[in-house]
Structure 1
Amino acid sequence: MTTASHGNDDTAIFGNRFATKEVPTRTFPSTGMPAQDAFRLVAEDLVLEGDPARNLATFVTTWMEPEAQRIIAENLHRNFIDHAEYPRTAEIEQRCIRMLADLYHAPGETMGARTQGSSEAIMLGGLSLKWNWRKRRTAAGASTERPNLVFGGDVHVVWEKFCRYLDVEPRIVPLRPGKYTIGPDDVLPRVDENTIGVAAVLGTTFTGHKDDIVGINDLLVRIKRERGLDVPLHVDAASGGFVWPFLYPDSPWDFRLEQVRSINTSGHKFGLVYPGIGWLIFREKADLNEDLVFTENYLGKTDATFTLNFSTGSSMVLAQYYNFVRYGRAGYTYIMQNMQANARALGEKLAAMGLFELIGADEEQLPLVAFRLLDHNGFDEFDVAWQLSAERGWMVPAYTMPPDAQQVTIMRALVKETMSREHVDTLARDIEQACATLAKKGGAHEYERSRMVTGSGH
């Protein structure tokens, strides 16, 4: 037997485990490898990832029922945009849109679309705000230069992206220590005839609270009545759109308010679907600017489309519909209430330690705990986050707030449906032990702390 053939036999028996070879990272591989080896290569790389069950930073869904996973797996090959070939998938999208419009109290027939998360939905909603403003200004014989959009420093970065990409002046309300959302007094001095709309947040990334949407709506109604300026309100409900209807059903924030003309939400957050799926819902058909809708003849069927993406998978749309019919209002309410109960239990345990201040625990809030150290005795929130990650594998982010509250550092623990009461108790003990360890050693090393500062995510 030659050396070469002996090596090939070894590979056949033991497999190529890349024990002595570098994996492909820069150049396109000249040859392939057996399927089992390719699987092992990727799987072994992913072993180095964090555990999603301990990732309390992400809002994105990390678990679905086996039946939902089966629907996803069996439809990964189905291109959503091929409506002529897959008409039932297109119908299921429309069912989801109608159900969300009902959930958000739309007064009548409406329009909407599935999107790649809330980022695409916000881009589309912002475009419609801008084009509708331009249409109103043109009809009045007024200038269409220098459009602006009003929102707070508590928004997702995609709002600033929209303004930069689409040439809209961002009028950003700065935050300040102790005030991490915006209200009508913040909006009033920033609204004028060039304001295409106001964006308000339902469930902020930073603390999980909502802007004063009722107050902002009432202000815009008054401005319309007194100044003749019809300024629409868009609600960014990326996180809160699947929380408030079930935890706070009597709290108005949606189409019950006159000036709310469009809403985006993320199905892959509290809609309990894997990434990426988002939704954009308009109050009524007229709120979607007709010039943004393309009618195209594709594969024998004429369709109207206004999404930015074309080809995309059907799986997450079908998974969203599965959740709607699987849980209904009662099921979503049950899940959200369980998450809220565990979040409150965690908050109570943290408060009892005497080490932390809870941020807005007595207000309407996403099922999470936002907290900060009362005293910095040799260590800070970034140290605590690092200690939890290094010792226990918990991913609990620490981050500074946006301007003008950037001197405030907080931590945030998101409590999702996979986090049991036992997990809550364990996390609370681990946080207390992390603080005790840091108090003894005087904080984390500077290198470790710098990694947390640059690597913390929202």
Structure 2
Amino acid sequence: MVVTTTISDSDQHLCSTFASRYARTSLPRFKIPKGSMPKDAAYQIVKDELMLDGNPRLNLASFVTTWMEPECDKLIMDSINKNYVDMDEYPVTTELQNRCVNMIAHLFHAPVGDDETAVGVSTVGSSEAIMLAGLAFKRKWQAKRKAQGKPYDQPNIVTGANVQVCWEKFARYFEVELKEVKLREGYYVMDPGEAVEMVDENTICVAAILGSTLSGEFEDVKLLNELLTKKNEETGWDTPIHVDAASGGFIAPFLYPELEWDFRLPLVKSINVSGHKYGLVYAGIGWAIWRNKEDLPDELIFHINYLGADQPTFTLNFSKGSSQVIAQYYQLIRLGHEGYKNIMENCMENARLLKEGMSKMGRFEIISKDIGLPLVAFSLKDSSRYTVFQISESLRRFGWIVPAYTMPPNAEHVAVLRVVIREDFSHSLAERLVSHIQKVVDEMELLPPRASVKEAHVSLDDLHITKGEKQNLKKNIDESEKDICRYWRRISDKKNSGVC
């Protein structure tokens, strides 16, 4: 007897996913498909789409952690289905969060005893932490103004123009004026003196940055505290300080323990730090820490009981995963003070290696300072032939993602490249990056001067044509310049491969 087996179309993919009908049609982009597809076919198709993303390890624009130990990866996967907000169901996870808060608070010299509970909360990155800290400052200022019978509808925050966009979001979302101290060439952080001059009776806090994303520099929080204390004494105000330590909060305590920037300074009332940056945890986890209970208004704390027990909560979101909190606790107990110190020292050593390599080329000016974050920010000494933006674009063909940007007001004319050194950026990768930058700039040196392109733009203004026609011609000129870049790049690649 002959048995005939019929293989259905839904089973054929088991033999070859790419021979099945699922690989022969375009993926849905706007509507959910009518039918289902096998799990391994869906997995392979989505995985193939993601191949076009950049390599996170080579993304030197980001401060966010891109590598953790396999043991921590397993802990994350084991807890990925836990909703942190359900504290009654997951009391141990809540306890781990509280332990992290206490450890970080003591790291920042919060005035709490060894057996006392610090005031803080885990957040979804530093953005939420900043929102919460800003709200606390606003509500305390409003309450005081109401008690004094004074207007409370025009609060402001004083910052440097180098603040991260989350501060602008806070100001816009919660109707607070953002008063920015402008930068200047050669000085890319907030000037404490200028900041204090901008403080008035409506200032809810001055925000200082421990580790500017633009240059890696630490702002002088100690000097800010001294100047602001003097102004408070003269005016009768009590304007406080918030420290945005998103990037530097896990750097300074281990590399610069004598640097006073935290709760050792009386006016510092709250600090935020990103666990997913140099806290060495995957995105997204942040922490907001307050000096004491009086700095966090009770009216901002909500109590819910429909998950099984009374649970106080002070967050902007509700549900969030537990895995990052657990991963942060793992890192704190796994590495300890010694481990964090070793990692940060290694990051700084690789930053110095990269800085030396860039300096030897003779084409770049180093913007970043020796004390600060482990990053290297550098600008071109001569931009007449090519720009930092062209260098950034050219480095992508090697897989490197190196951001190029202009500084904020009043230093917009300064354009820089920036390389962030993370834990997984090794000595050999630093050497390879230097060699690739050298290769790119050598190619760029063969390009015609950019002045000719500028002159072409200027000459168009003398033509009697419409504005639209001028814009089209300028676009064609710019595209021609890009074509020249591509041409020299192809020639160089051929030479290096032995074709020429």
* TM-score category, normalised to shorter length: over 0.9
CA spacing shift, 1:319–1:443, aligned 2, 3 Å: farther
Could you tell me how far apart the structure 1 residues matched to 2:44 and 2:51 are? 10
Corresponding residue number in structure 1 for 2:493: none
Aligned pairs for 1:334-373 (under 5 A) are 334-362=342-370, 364-373=371-380
Aligned pairs for 1:219-238 (under 5 A) are 219-238=227-246
Corresponding residue number in structure 2 for 1:455: none
The question of 1:306 aligning with 2:308 is answered no
Note the C-alpha offset of 1:385: 0.6
| Deviations 1:29-72 (CA, angstroms, capped at 9, x unpaired) | 11111110111011101111111121111010000000000000
The question of 1:272 aligning with 2:265 is answered no
| Deviations 1:306-346 (CA, angstroms, capped at 9, x unpaired) | 11111111000000000000001110000000000010011
Could you tell me how far apart the structure 2 residues matched to 1:338 and 1:12 are? 47
Letter in 1 for 2:201: E
Note the C-alpha offset of 1:8: 5.4
- Give the secondary structure class of the aligned counterpart of 2:294: helix
CA spacing shift, 1:190–1:11, aligned 2, 3 Å: same
Could you tell me how far apart the structure 2 residues matched to 1:265 and 1:297 are? 29
CA spacing shift, 1:128–1:95, aligned 2, 3 Å: same
Letter in 1 for 2:353: A
| Deviations 1:197-229 (CA, angstroms, capped at 9, x unpaired) | 111111111111122211111111112222111
Corresponding residue number in structure 1 for 2:461: none
| Deviations 1:409-446 (CA, angstroms, capped at 9, x unpaired) | 00101111111111111110110110001111348994
- Give the secondary structure class of the aligned counterpart of 1:263: strand
Corresponding residue number in structure 2 for 1:385: 392
The question of 1:22 aligning with 2:26 is answered yes
- Give the secondary structure class of the aligned counterpart of 2:189: coil
Could you tell me how far apart the structure 1 residues matched to 2:327 and 2:448 are? 48
Letter in 1 for 2:208: A
Counterpart of 1:40 (choices 41, 44, 61) is: 44
Counterpart of 2:171 (choices 154, 157, 163) is: 163
Corresponding residue number in structure 2 for 1:394: 400
Percent identical = 46
Corresponding residue number in structure 2 for 1:255: 263
- Give the secondary structure class of the aligned counterpart of 1:135: helix
Corresponding residue number in structure 1 for 2:197: 189
CA contact (8 A) 1:61 1:275 kept: yes
RMSD (CA atoms): 2.0
Could you tell me how far apart the structure 1 residues matched to 2:298 and 2:232 are? 23
Moved more, 251-260 or 8-17: 8-17
Corresponding residue number in structure 2 for 1:415: 421
Could you tell me how far apart the structure 1 residues matched to 2:244 and 2:40 are? 44
- Give the secondary structure class of the aligned counterpart of 1:21: coil
Corresponding residue number in structure 2 for 1:330: 338
Corresponding residue number in structure 2 for 1:13: 15
Could you tell me how far apart the structure 2 residues matched to 1:271 and 1:209 are? 18
- Give the secondary structure class of the aligned counterpart of 1:241: coil
Greater relative CO, 1 or 2 (CA 8 Å, sep 6+): 1
Letter in 2 for 1:99: M
Note the C-alpha offset of 1:449: 9.0
- Give the secondary structure class of the aligned counterpart of 1:13: coil
Letter in 1 for 2:107: L
The question of 1:173 aligning with 2:175 is answered no
CA contact (8 A) 2:215 2:369 kept: no
CA contact (8 A) 2:84 2:322 kept: yes
Letter in 2 for 1:366: L
The question of 1:405 aligning with 2:411 is answered yes
Note the C-alpha offset of 1:170: 1.1
Letter in 2 for 1:409: A
| Deviations 1:268-317 (CA, angstroms, capped at 9, x unpaired) | 01100001100000011110011101122132211111111111110000
CA contact (8 A) 2:126 2:287 kept: yes
CA spacing shift, 1:128–1:26, aligned 2, 3 Å: same
Corresponding residue number in structure 2 for 1:453: none
CA spacing shift, 1:429–1:144, aligned 2, 3 Å: same
Counterpart of 1:100 (choices 101, 104, 111) is: 104
Corresponding residue number in structure 2 for 1:435: 441
Corresponding residue number in structure 1 for 2:80: 76
- Structure 1 spans left out of the alignment, 5+ residues: 451-458
| Deviations 1:213-257 (CA, angstroms, capped at 9, x unpaired) | 111111111122221110010000111111111111111100011
Corresponding residue number in structure 2 for 1:296: 304
CA spacing shift, 1:107–1:417, aligned 2, 3 Å: same
CA spacing shift, 1:102–1:447, aligned 2, 3 Å: farther
Q: Which protein is bigger by CA-based radius of gyration?
A: 2
Note the C-alpha offset of 1:176: 1.6
Could you tell me how far apart the structure 2 residues matched to 1:442 and 1:271 are? 46
CA contact (8 A) 2:158 2:179 kept: yes
Corresponding residue number in structure 1 for 2:496: none
Aligned pairs for 1:134-173 (under 5 A) are 134-173=142-181
- Give the secondary structure class of the aligned counterpart of 2:442: helix
CA spacing shift, 1:447–1:258, aligned 2, 3 Å: farther
How many residue pairs match? The answer is 447
| Deviations 1:113-159 (CA, angstroms, capped at 9, x unpaired) | 00000000000000000001011112222221211111111101111
Note the C-alpha offset of 1:169: 1.1
Task: Give TM-score scaled by structure 1 length.
Answer: 0.94
| Deviations 1:166-207 (CA, angstroms, capped at 9, x unpaired) | 111111111121111012211122111111111111111111
The question of 1:374 aligning with 2:381 is answered yes
